[in-house]
Amino acid sequence: DAKTTQPTSMDCAEGRAANLPCNHSTISGNEYVYWYRQIHSQGPQYIIHGLKNNETNEMASLIITEDRKSSTLILPHATLRDTAVYYCIVRVTGNQFYFGTGTSLTVIP
Amino acid sequence: NAGVTQTPKFQVLKTGQSMTLQCAQDMNHEYMSWYRQDPGMGLRLIHYSVGAGITDQGEVPNGYNVSRSTTEDFPLRLLSAAPSQTSVYFCASRRGRTSDTQYFGPGTRLTVL
């Protein structure tokens, strides 16, 4: 069963912030939200994850709503190398990562 | 560290043939997983392991076998390949704590004729 819903595709101008939304309305209290990206069919690359609080690292920021039913990944200054498919994943206990179909982000010069 | 390695990178099989996809990690990770990715789709979990000697099924386990005799290696076996198994296969590992991230291998592109 799909655990997350994301837009199929998005465009973003180079240098602007890219805001990628994700809906996870059935998330449970102990489930983390992970974001990965996949460039040119390479192995997925970890970006960021969070449980309740907003998170920031050198790549991106993750904003999780208070009810935890949705989140937004923010790439603060998108570059052409950020063109990829971005997956929002809800991780359950154990080893079950549920990947959806992701959002194909195209960064436009 | 080499991270997660997979061999081969590409493979073509005929229907009914068998083969083993190799996966190894040198990070001493407890958890390892196999995913498949079909064109235009996300990754789907085939099998996973939470430690040597322990394996379990994921979303799409039919047609695949796994074993985990060592911490480092987690091979995926196709006993009788079918065209429906044409896909890109990714192996992943993580240390095992609750919030650990997964590290993915470069993938094996398999075509079954």
Q: B63 touching A, CB under 8 A?
A: no
- pLDDT of the residue at A95: 64
Phi, psi of B70 (to 5 degrees): -130, 165
Q: Which residue of B has its CA nearest to A104?
A: B40
A2 contacts in chain B (CB < 8 Å): none
Q: What does the pLDDT average to over B38-65?
A: 91
Quick: pLDDT tens for A36-92: 999 987 899 999 999 998 999 999 999 999 999 999 999 999 999 999 999 999 876
Q: Cβ of A100: how many Cβ atoms within 10 Å?
A: 20
pLDDT bracket for residue A93 (50, 70, 90): low
Q: Is the pLDDT of residue A1 over 90?
A: no
d(CA B45, CA B93): 13
- pLDDT of the residue at A18: 98
For residue A101, give the nearest of B42, B50, B102 by CB distance: B42
Listing DSSP states for B23-61 in one string gives: EEESS--SEEEEEEE-TT--EEEEEEEEETTEEEE-S--
Q: What does the pLDDT average to over A20-48?
A: 90
pLDDT bracket for residue A108 (50, 70, 90): very high
Q: What does the pLDDT average to over B35-40?
A: 90
- pLDDT of the residue at A97: 78
Q: What does the pLDDT average to over B33-37?
A: 95
| Interface contact A101-B41, CB threshold 8 A | yes
| Interface contact A95-B31, CB threshold 8 A | yes
Q: A94 touching B, CB under 8 A?
A: yes
How many angstroms separate the CA of residue B16 from the nearest CA in chain A?
27
Question: By CB neighbour count within 10 A (0-12 exposed, 13-18 middle, 19+ buried), where does B9 fall?
Answer: exposed
For residue A43, give the nearest of B45, B99, B105 by CB distance: B105
A5 contacts in chain B (CB < 8 Å): none
For residue B45, give the nearest of A45, A87, A97 by CB distance: A97
pLDDT bracket for residue B97 (50, 70, 90): low
For residue A43, give the nearest of B45, B58, B104 by CB distance: B104
Q: What does the pLDDT average to over B52-58?
A: 93
Contact call for residues B67 and B3 (beta carbons, < 8 A):
no
